[in-house]
Structure 1
Amino acid sequence: MTRGPVHLEVAVGYATARKGVPAAATFRRWAGAALAGRIREADLAIRIVGEDEGRALNRHYRGKDYATNVLSFPAELPEGLPEGVRLPLLGDLVLCAPVVAREAAEQGKTLNAHYAHLTVHGVLHLLGWDHDNTAEAEAMEQLEREILAGLGVGDPYAGEVR
């Protein structure tokens, strides 16, 4: 585990209406909480999109023809760097505002709590966490719960049946 403060550069872009969407500083705080103790330096971009762009990205990169709540695109090291050299570039997150809003309403969560969860979830994906099997999913969900609790956000999985 890495100690000390995280040097974090987060570029937040809004490609859709901003009504109900958190401010860039809020996304930075959530991303910083997910990275704290795990990485010392990171650059990432967060893009908030509408349904059309979210669907197009999900179709192109995952072969799924619908908009999803969050997409994570980890950065890849450029060829030619010596082995072991790491850049601070972590990757990109894309959050689809209409999907996030719809899910929050359906799940009885506040919009901010759902954005916080999806930001933390996406950043953990950028760090290599996944949920391809039950053990991985349980470990990732527990880490999300701990990070979110530190932000004052309740358990995003409460009430879910697996």
Structure 2
Amino acid sequence: MNTPPDIVLRPARRDDVPTLLALIRALAEYEKLAHQVEADEPALAATLFGERPCAEVVIAETDGEAAGFALFFHNYSTFLARPGLYLEDLFVQPRFRGHGIGRRLMVHLAQLALARGCGRFEWSVLDWNAPAIGFYRGLGAIGMDGWTVQRVDGDALRRLAATPG
């Protein structure tokens, strides 16, 4: 693997919000989900860098340009009685792929998970994304057979919230 020596990983800052939004839109385009992107700069600034940040972001730069990012947050395992690290998004811009940037981001997050006492590092991947699944298997990840992701959003979320308890 030809890894350029000038890859720098760093925590995102508030002034990275426009870059983050562009990367999120590029990820959504790749995943064929661009129509679902509602994020905008004010919302990202508030939720990532406001009074109560909801997630953290690591940016991978090469020659000062954002090559990719990983957005993650903590969850909790009741079975382990320990926090976990959940990777929401990992994306490397196409022109920077094949240089080990994705691997560097994943290794960084695994190290961060251990340093923070996490018992797990997990994420979801689209079932059609064979390149990503192969990449993750190469890192030692295993699929969680028997589990499916469940979601309530939009009108269904509002209806559920309005249901008498």
Which range, TM-score by smaller chain? under 0.3
TM-score, normalised to structure 2's length?
Answer: 0.27
Report 1 or 2 for greater relative contact order, CA contacts < 8 Å, sequence distance ≥ 6: 1
